[in-house]
């Protein structure tokens, strides 16, 4: 929003101002009338909007001074006093959706919720939205869970305990687990994202949450560093009922996402879920609107929804209770209704963002962390990512070659070769082992030397990677036991395969060694 200063001399007509409208070459704004008999007048200004709507919402977006003077040449110009409205994080609550079954991430989600899947060596997916909330000052957080939530609940309680210094006062992190309630609908599982939020919407009608003006709805499976307060500022400045965070998208990937089409004011006029063919072409956005560099604008003709929303609380209640009482999905049902009946704005997010929805996207996101320079980096002293506190020794490396890799703490690497790989906590690699383009999640515990000797003596395989084993293009889940002289490389180029009895699956050509699997000595995959 632009600042404004009106300097009026004694021959100036102030009829325009007295009507409550000041004009600039780039925009216009509404204001209160200036009095002719007063030498000093001031008026409230905001973005172009309906005056009745302003009065109804009691908006006071800022103040600009209009000074009436007989001599403009001798006028000392005062400093423009204008401030954009700043949303108060105390009046914002966040809901992180963590209850999906995560079928596209199977087998990584066979025993855990999708937001609990490890990423980047020592983090979990849930740490991304949680840390973004904390760094943005949003510390009233609800996490909705349903499937395989045991490890997720444990991680949240260990990492984001409100007594550990991250939170103060009225801040909280609460897990809202799927539960049965009175009535037929209450006997079923969550039927979708909208249904999950609806089941707990009564939380925002509680007296202790009477000051919650906006509700952030976040996904638990995205990788990005985002300042939610900037997102909320856009929402507040535009007087929106709903604001959708969006990213520029090229045509090759656009049909995999929910797309929005906006006008020149950033208002969402159309919303389509994974359109194809002519429907996809219909969702192209004028590249001049986005303000992207010429090359980027030519490639990215679409705006994809990130699945990150902010609702005014009363609008969210109205949509879930009255407008769409039987709708189950936010993206495909609630948002199109909001676009039709309410003011829905867009927020263009220009930094790195990745939807971790499939095995391939998960694998690619982890491998991208090893690039130089990486598109995304967990380390940032100003906006760190938090995770479960661990008391582990430094990683020990003996006569090993490591190139473009992430090595987490508590690992033992002996005479091994690691290239373009992510190695999780407590990982153990024996001499002669080679890992290339591999994501190894590590282990939940150590085995003692005596336990390892006993296992080897009985012909069994200890946790970790055995001697002279070669692994490439692979995801190794936690506590996997991979023996000696094993080759895991998918040399035949198989795209899809299910081998649970042998301890692995293949998805999009990527081998996934499942949690607690045992791959015997000499195995070739």
Vertex 27 angle, CA 305 and 19, to 5°: 125
Residues 120 and 369: beta-carbon distance below 8 Å = yes
Other CB atoms within 10 A of residue 108 CB: 25
Taken in order of first residue, the domains within the chain and their CATH numbers are 6-69 (no CATH), 89-246+306-368 (3.90.550.10), 396-519 (2.160.10.10)
- Backbone torsions φ then ψ of 249, nearest 5 degrees: -140, 140
Give the residue with greater pLDDT, 465 vs 54: 465
CA nearest neighbour of 522 among 490, 488, 485? 485
Strand order from edge to edge, sheet including 396-398: 396-398, 412-414, 428-429, 464-465, 481-482, 518-519
pLDDT interval class at 338 (50, 70, 90) = very high
Better pLDDT: 144 or 477: 477
Gap between the Cα atoms of 237 and 345, Å rounded:
10
Cβ contacts of 340 within 8 Å, gap of 6 or more: none
**DSSP one-letter code for 248:** E
- Of the candidate ranges 54-58, 390-394, 475-479, the one whose mean pLDDT is the lowest: 54-58
**Contacts for 223 with CB less than 8 Å, ≥ 6 apart:** 119, 125, 128, 352, 353, 354, 356, 365, 376
| Three-state SS at 458 | coil
What local confidence, expressed as pLDDT, does residue 115 receive? 92
What beta strand segments (E) does 129-262 contain?
140-145, 172-177, 214-219, 222-224, 242-249, 258-262
Which band of pLDDT confidence, cut at 50, 70 and 90, is reported for residue 2? very low
Q: What is the pTM of this model?
A: 0.81
Strands 28-30 and 92-98: unpaired
Of 153-157, 342-346, 362-366, the one with minimum mean pLDDT is 153-157
- What average pLDDT does the segment 118-146 reach? 94
The token pair that represents 347 in the structure block: 């927020």
Q: What is the end-to-end Cα distance of the chain in Å, rounded? A: 59
Q: Cβ distance 463 to 479 under 8 Å?
A: yes
User: Cβ contacts of residue 363 below 8 Å, gap of 6+?
Assistant: 439, 475, 510
List, in sequence order, every residue forming a beta bridge with 260; answer none if it has no partner. Answer: 271, 303
How far, in Å, CA of 99 to CA of 177, rounded? 8
Lowest mean pLDDT segment, chosen from 157-171, 196-210, 257-271, 316-330: 157-171
For residues 27-48, average pLDDT: 36
**391 and 410 Cβ atoms separated by less than 8 Å:** no
What is the SS3 assignment for 318? helix
Tell me the average pLDDT of the chain: 83
Q: How far apart are CA 207 and CA 211, in angstroms?
A: 9
**What long-range pairs does 198-206 form, CB within 8 A, spacing at least 24?**
198/320, 198/321, 200/142, 200/144, 200/176, 201/316, 201/317, 201/320, 201/321, 203/142, 203/176, 204/93, 204/313, 204/316, 204/317, 205/317
On whether the CB atoms of residues 353 and 363 are closer than 8 A, the answer is no
The confidence score (pLDDT) of residue 181 equals 63
261-315: pLDDT as tens digits: 999 899 999 999 889 989 999 999 888 888 888 788 788 889 999 999 999 999 9
What size, in residues, is the chain?
Answer: 525
Pick from 283, 272, 334: nearest CA to 309 = 334
Q: Rounded CA gap, 230 and 416, in Å?
A: 45
- pLDDT > 90? residue 35: no
Relative orientation angle of helices 127-136 and 228-237, to the nearest 10 degrees: 60
Of residues 500, 518, 444, the one with CA closest to residue 118: 444
> Which DSSP letter does residue 399 get?
S
SS3 314: helix
Q: How many Cβ atoms from other residues are within 10 Å of residue 231's Cβ? A: 23
pLDDT confidence of residue 439 = 98
Tokens of 414: 């002996």
pLDDT band at 168 (very low <50, low <70, confident <90, very high): low
């Amino acid at each position: 929003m632009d600042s404004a200063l009106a300097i009026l001399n004694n021959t100036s007509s102030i009829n325009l101002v007295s009507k409550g409208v000041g004009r600039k070459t780039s925009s216009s704004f509404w204001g209160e009338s200036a009095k002719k008999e007063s030498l000093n007048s001031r008026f409230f200004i905001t973005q172009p909007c309906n005056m009745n709507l302003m009065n109804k919402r009691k908006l006071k977006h800022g103040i600009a001074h209009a000074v009436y003077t007989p001599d403009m040449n001798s006028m000392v110009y005062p400093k423009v006093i204008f401030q954009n409205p700043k949303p108060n994080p105390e009046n914002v609550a966040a809901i992180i959706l963590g209850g999906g079954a995560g079928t596209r991430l199977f087998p990584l989600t066979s025993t855990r919720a999708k937001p609990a899947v490890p990423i980047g060596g020592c983090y979990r997916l849930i740490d991304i939205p949680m840390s973004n909330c904390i760094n943005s000052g949003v510390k009233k957080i609800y996490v909705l869970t349903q499937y395989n939530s045991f490890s997720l609940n444990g991680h949240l309680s260990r990492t984001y305990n409100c007594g550990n210094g991250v939170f103060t006062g009225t801040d909280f992190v609460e897990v809202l687990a799927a539960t049965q309630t009175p009535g037929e609908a209450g006997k079923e599982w969550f039927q979708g994202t909208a249904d999950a939020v609806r089941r707990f919407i009564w939380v925002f009608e509680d007296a202790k949450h009477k000051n919650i003006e906006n509700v952030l709805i976040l996904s638990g499976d995205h990788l990005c560093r985002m300042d939610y307060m900037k997102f909320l500022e856009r929402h507040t400045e535009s007087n929106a009922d709903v604001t959708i965070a969006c990213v520029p998208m090229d045509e090759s990937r656009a049909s995999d996402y929910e797309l929005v089409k906006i006008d020149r004011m950033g208002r969402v006029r159309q919303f389509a879920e994974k359109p194809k063919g002519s429907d996809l072409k219909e969702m192209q956005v004028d590249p001049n609107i986005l303000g992207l560099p010429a090359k980027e604008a030519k490639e990215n003709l679409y705006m994809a929804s990130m699945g990150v929303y902010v609702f005014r609380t009363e609008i969210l209640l109205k949509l879930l209770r009255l407008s769409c009482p039987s709708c189950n999905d936010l993206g495909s049902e609630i948002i199109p209704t909001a676009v039709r009946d309410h003011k829905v704005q867009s927020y263009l997010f220009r930094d790195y963002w990745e939807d971790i929805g499939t095995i391939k996207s998960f694998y690619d996101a982890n491998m991208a962390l090893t690039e130089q320079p990486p598109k995304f980096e967990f380390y940032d002293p100003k906006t760190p990512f938090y995770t479960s506190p661990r008391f582990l020794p430094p990683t020990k490396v003996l006569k090993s070659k490591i190139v473009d890799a992430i090595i987490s703490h508590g690992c033992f690497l002996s005479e091994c070769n690691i290239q373009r790989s992510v190695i999780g906590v407590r990982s153990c690699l024996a001499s002669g082992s080679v890992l290339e383009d591999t994501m190894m999640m590590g282990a939940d515990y150590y085995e003692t030397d005596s336990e390892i000797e006993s296992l080897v003596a009985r012909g069994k395989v200890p946790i970790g990677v055995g001697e002279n084993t070669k692994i490439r293009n692979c995801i190794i889940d936690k506590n996997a036991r991979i023996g000696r002289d094993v080759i895991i490389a998918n040399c035949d180029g198989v795209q899809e395969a299910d081998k649970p009895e042998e301890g692995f699956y293949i998805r999009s050509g990527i081998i996934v060694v499942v949690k607690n699997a045992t791959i015997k000595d000499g195995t070739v995959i």
